[in-house]
Amino acid sequence: MSNFITGQRFISDGETELGLGTILNCDARSVTVLFAASDETRTYSVREAPLTRVVFGRGDRIDTDDGQVLLVSDLRDEGGRITYLGQDSNGERELPESRISDRMQFHQARDRLLTGQIDRNDAFNLRYRSLQHLARIERHPGFGLSGPRIDLIPHQLHIADDIASRRLPRVLLADEVGLGKTIEAGLVLHRLLLTGRVERALILVPDSLTHQWLVELLRRFSIEVTLLDEQQSQARGSDGNPFESTQLVLASQQWLFASPERQQQAQACHWDLVIVDEAQHLEWDPESGGDTGYQCVEALATQRTGLLLLSATPEQMGDVSHFARLRLLDPERYHDLEAFRAEQRGHAALAEAIEALEQLPGERQHRDTLHTIVADDPQALALLEALMQADADDQPSLRESLRRVLIDRYGIGRVMFRNSRRHVSGFPVRRLHVSELENPGAYRRIEQRIARDEDYLDTLLIETGLDYPEVLLYPEATFEARRHESDDSDRWWRFDPRMAWLRQWLKAHPGEKALLICHYGETARELAAGLQVLTGLHVPVFHENMTLIERDRAAAAFAEAEDGSPLLVCSEIGSEGRNFQFCHHLILFDLPPHPDQLEQRIGRLDRIGQQHDVEIHLPVIAGSPTGALLRWYQEALAAFEEPSGPGSVVSDAHGDALFDALLDGDALEEVIENSRALALQTRQEREAGRDRLLGWSSFDAAHANEMIDALQSLDDDAMLDRYLDQALEVFGIETRETDEGLTYLHPGSHMVDGMPGLIRGEEGFTATRSRQHALARDDLQRLSWEHPLVREMLSRATNESMGNTALALLAHPAIPGGRYMLEAIFRTRTSAPKALHVNRFFPPATVRVLLDESGQVLSDKVSFGGLAKNLRHVKKGVARNLVRERQQQLRELFDQAEQQAEAELPGLVDKAGTRMRQQLDEEIERLEALSKRNPDVRAEEIEMLRQERSALSQAIDGTRLQLDAVRVIVTVDPQ
């Protein structure tokens, strides 16, 4: 006789997503069930039907078909069908089981257990462990910065942590070229995304760098952004705003700034963060206001939007353009250019005062200087007086405290970060190798004619269409432009001694790579063609007339470690923003006319990650104008040894005179002399004030070291290995150790869908835990707590129902068989907007309650780990029967466990609240004090912090405890 009766309610053991089923009919052999919520009917064999009868008990809540929730107080069996008695919002009522909602879901641990939905024991263990790890990691000081595939470089970590901890980051990242501004911006974005503070971000970069950003964000930060261009926008925006179609948008500045319609669309969206690379191109002046790009960014970065501006040369166009950038960051503070200039002039005195600290308490006059500067600040005055009285042991710490207070007075230091090579150690030495070559007849003839005939230069400019001084500095271009006019029919590369020199160089450096930069795209193209004709060697070329894809392809052909080309021939454009530090030979086929361009050229190799000294090779034709330019770079600017800070200033002042003197030895001496004097003076002025202050305020070694320690502790966290072992097994991911001691992860046949980087039936990936390994090899992924796969597993293991029920057997000599225990895991739920990142103070905390069947509390006596390792797996069918037999007792144990756990909640809330208030009060106090000395502390920021504190306080106080997972343990006799 069958156990099924028409109208009874069941759920499918294998397909719980079908909802609640109703028995439609049943005969001796088969049973048919209607799952109305999913409009499915299933027929099963009566003997093996994978169905579990749904029976509720006292205290349970039932969703009814008329949208009510019934709290069950009793039930009545009427010929095998149940009628529930209880209360809904209208009062007492009866509910035949046929009227239970078809859509009733059983996600909650209690409901799932009592309806026989029992998960694997190891999934239950994983769930508990995941909750504990999440709680630990989200409060870790390195959280959000430990996943990216980067070297732990102190100045970057100091900056990233400082900025990403602010309520509203609005800053200018202005490190010298190649020091890692992109990495800093990526770190900030990464942490803000992980903490939920940022959900929507817009990244605007020059056209030529879109691909590099896309790849860096993915490869280093595992951040997938959508590259929005016109084609993509049309595809995505057919029925709306393309900027709304995705959360993280990368777009070319040239594209966006050229289209008013697209700008309007971008501005119509809310962005949590806007990042603008190469921000020096946004132009503004007090008379005519901003150009299109400037206005666009101004409109995008409204008050409640974070803004990161990146520029290695924020002052390239003078102090107005610098002011313009600061004005974007804080329009209220930077509204008066003259006031800004006056303030800048005061910085030398402040820098001097900070230096003078070293002489205290010895020198009285320094004390007086300092006293004048901090007269308005009681805290600083007190520190100063204490320092004057202090004995030798106390002096260093007092000096340091006072130094910090003084640095805090430096307004711009809060909105601008600039590290230079001089303050960041570990950069390679740059070495210049000049090879003097004989001037070939064809070039000599032109130079001699210019020298003889004053008018010939004008003729040449007209004939060639070149500018001055380019017509002198790039003889191959001049020759080429005249070739058709003259008798010479040879291509320049057949006689140009630099070509023979280059062939010789390549021969002498087998297995080495060199980046060659020349001024013109046409020269680059011809040079590569000539090399192929003369040597058979095919080398990739990179110039402005190629498409982006062609350029990326050329760079990739060069970058390839094995079989890659030994040479990449680039025009000046190749110098912009690209990463070529995997090679250390730079061949300057010629010299650029502007020092910033020279610095850009060298900066492609002299970047973070450069492992060797940078060898700069310059074949220069004897007696040529390039020789004169070389002397100016060397003698006036010392531009090859290190970035030439005053290069722009000197070039603005003496550039024209220099170009006039390229063929005039005496005039050249004078230009060099004047230029050298100006460079020295500018350097001294900057060093006296701005540069020193910026250097100090942009880097805090103690803080950076704390961050490095924090990140290393996460890197070395042995618990991750154990967690991975458990999690990969539960999610069906298989692993294999490779010969090199790496781990190959690949999908097993039962892998859960949607695991990042893994698709069933396809290849997996090779991974390492070692940061150094992952940095050395692009093909490796680094497993960390922040790796997308680990994050996904943590999230699924804690947010979905998987693993929230289990049943296991315990065989222990001291405990007789046939007893029950209930292990209930409760977790705190704090409802708060994601942007508050409440988890840094109160991540989901767990309360574990272990009861035996008599209700005795065993939680403290038997630990989770101790119990888990003695448990034995049991088949699902058996587990279901065991639960069914004890439904009523289990219900009673649940109630008791809940009371037990509830008693712990106030303590947890109190601790989290205190932690939050302590930290935020301290921060508010610090900012308030700072705002009195430093006008760059935005009033808005302090107000936001106050609002945040009160919102957090409310959220933490409203925390509830919820049963998250439950395991029934049945004891068995050891044999």
Of residues 577 and 646, the one with the C-beta less far from ligand ATP: 577
Structure tokens at 551: 């350029």
- Site pattern 530..569 for ligand ATP (x: CB under 6 A): ----------------------------------------
Q: Hey, what are 517's tokens?
A: 């930069």
Flag whether 176 is marked binding: yes
Q: What is the DSSP string of 29-70?
A: SEEEEEEGGGTEEEEEEGGG--EEE----TT-EEEBTTS-EE
Q: Could you give the CA distance from residue 576 to residue 909 in angstroms, rounded to a whole number?
A: 53
Phi, psi of 476 (to 5 degrees): -65, -35
Q: Is 828 within 8 Å of 960 (Cβ atoms)?
A: yes
The beta strand positions in 783-870, using DSSP E, are 805-811, 820-829, 846-852
Residue from 245, 267, 344, 579 in contact with ligand ATP (CB under 6 A): 579
The tally of CA atoms less than 13 A away on the side-chain side of residue 740 is 10
- The reply to whether 782 sits near ligand ATP by the rule CB under 6 A is no
- Which of 49, 113, 179, 780 touches ligand ATP (CB under 6 A)? 179
Q: Does 175 bind ligand ATP (CB under 6 A)?
A: yes
In 598-737, which ranges are E strands? 614-621, 733-737
Chain centre distance of CA 57: 50
Residue 161, annotated as binding a ligand: no
The least CB distance from residue 212 to ligand ATP, in Å, is 8
Note whether 823 binds ligand ATP by CB under 6 A: no
Say whether 424 counts as a known binding-site residue: no
Specify whether the CB–CB gap between 80 and 93 falls below 8 A: no
Q: Which stretch binds ligand ATP (CB under 6 A): 452-460, 603-611, 619-627, 719-727?
A: 603-611
Q: b or e along 866-881 (b: 16 or more beta carbons within 10 Å of the residue's beta carbon)?
A: ebbeebeebebeebbe
Stretch that binds ligand ATP, among 55-63, 497-505, 553-561, 574-582 (CB under 6 A): 574-582
Nearest one of 162, 169, 181 to 329, comparing CA atoms: 169
Q: In the 8-state DSSP scheme, what is residue 438?
A: P
Q: Among candidates 763, 954, 936, 947, which has minimal Cα distance to 411?
A: 936
Taking the least distance from each CB to ligand ATP, the nearer of 596 and 941 is 596
Binding test (CB under 6 A) with ligand ATP, winner from 153, 308, 727, 790? 153
The one segment of 172-180, 482-490, 555-563, 835-843 that binds ligand ATP by CB under 6 A: 172-180
* 182 binds ligand ATP, rule: CB under 6 A: yes
Here the tokens at position 834 are: 């994601």
Region of 82-90, 600-608, 626-634, 938-946 interacting with ligand ATP (CB under 6 A): 600-608
DSSP character for 467? P
Neighbours of 285 (CB within 10 A): 16
How far apart CA 426 and CA 430 sit, in angstroms, is: 12
The answer to whether the annotation marks 846 as part of a ligand binding site is: no
Nearer to ligand ATP, 219 or 932 (CB): 219
Q: Nearest to residue 251, comparing CAs of 296, 188, 190, 191?
A: 296
Q: Does 839 contact ligand ATP by CB under 6 A?
A: no
- Using the rule CB under 6 A, which residue among 19, 577, 645, 913 binds ligand ATP? 577
314 binds ligand ATP (CB under 6 A): no
The CB-of-960 to ligand ATP minimum distance in angstroms stands at 42
Region binding ligand ATP by CB under 6 A among candidate stretches 181-189, 552-560, 714-722, 940-948: 181-189
Taking CA atoms, 947 is separated from 349, 941, 951, 952, in Å, by 37, 10, 6, 8
d(CA 661, CA 670): 9
What part of residues 708-747 is at the interface with ligand ATP (CB under 6 A)?
none
The least distance separating ligand ATP from the CB of residue 149, rounded to whole angstroms, comes to: 8
Q: Which is nearer to ligand ATP, 208 or 581 (CB)?
A: 581
Kindly tell me which residue out of 607, 654, 692, 880 binds ligand ATP, with binding defined by CB under 6 A: 607
For position 21 contacting ligand ATP by CB under 6 A, the verdict is no
180 is in an annotated binding site: yes
- Gap between the Cα atoms of 585 and 612, Å rounded: 9
Q: What is the closest distance, in whole angstroms, from the C-beta atom of residue 183 to ligand ATP in the complex?
A: 4
Instruction: Answer yes or no: are the C-beta atoms of 754 and 792 closer than 8 Å.
Output: yes
The least distance separating ligand ATP from the CB of residue 608, rounded to whole angstroms, comes to 4
Helix (H) or strand (E) holding 693: helix 690-698
Q: Are 584 and 610 in contact (CB under 8 A)?
A: yes
Q: Which of 171, 177, 618, 836 binds ligand ATP (CB under 6 A)?
A: 177
Q: Is 61 exposed, middle or buried (0-12, 13-18, 19+ CB in 10 A)?
A: middle
Binding region for ligand ATP (CB under 6 A) out of 175-183, 651-659, 795-803, 873-881: 175-183
SS3 171: strand
Question: 399 to 438, contacts with ligand ATP by CB under 6 A?
Answer: none
Residue choice 127, 133, 155, 181 for contact with ligand ATP (CB under 6 A): 181
Min separation Cβ 578 and ligand ATP, Å: 8
777: amino acid identity, one letter: R
Minimum CB distance to ligand ATP smaller for 184 or for 447 = 184
Query: Is 177 known as a binding-site position?
Result: yes
Tokens encoding 751: 């892998």
Distance CA 901, CA 904 (A): 5
Decide: is 312 part of the binding site for ligand ATP (CB under 6 A). yes
CA distances 395 to 359, 362, 391, 392, Å, are 11, 11, 6, 5
β-partners of residue 852 are 821
Q: Is 151 or 902 the residue whose CB approaches ligand ATP more closely? A: 151
Site for ligand ATP in 850-869 (CB under 6 A): none
Looking at 121-129, 327-335, 422-430, 607-615, which segment touches ligand ATP (CB under 6 A)? 607-615
CB of 306 closer than 8 Å to CB of 276 = no
Select the span of 442-450, 577-585, 644-652, 661-669 touching ligand ATP (CB under 6 A). Answer: 577-585
Residue 183 touching ligand ATP (CB under 6 A): yes
The CB-of-173 to ligand ATP minimum distance in angstroms stands at 8
Q: How far is the CB of 766 from ligand ATP (least distance, A)?
A: 20
Could you tell me how many residues of this chain bind ligand ATP (CB under 6 A)?
A: 20
Which of 132, 156, 801, 934 forms a contact with ligand ATP (CB under 6 A)? 156
Could you tell me the smallest distance in angstroms from the CB atom of residue 186 to ligand ATP? 8
Instruction: Collect all residues with Cβ–Cβ distance below 8 Å to 456 and sequence separation of at least 6.
Output: 449, 450
Tokens representing 565 are 């080309």
SS3 963: strand
Residue 315 and residue 690: Cα distance in Å, rounded?
Answer: 12
23 versus 279: smaller Cβ distance to ligand ATP: 279
Strand boundaries in 577-711, DSSP class E: 585-588, 614-621
179 is in an annotated binding site: yes
CA distances from 449 to 420, 488, 708, 863 (A): 46, 16, 63, 95
List the x/- string, 608-647, binding to ligand ATP by CB under 6 A.
Answer: xx--------------------------------------
Least distance in Å: CB of 572 to ligand ATP? 14
Say whether residue 180 binds ligand ATP (CB under 6 A): yes
844 is a site residue for ligand ATP (CB under 6 A): no
What is the footprint of ligand ATP within residues 93-152 (CB under 6 A)?
150-151
In angstroms, give the least distance from the CB of 182 to ligand ATP: 3
* Footprint of ligand ATP (CB under 6 A): 150-151, 153, 156, 175, 177-183, 312, 577, 579, 581, 603, 607-609
Binding-site residue numbers for ATP are 175-182
Binding-site residue numbers are 175-182
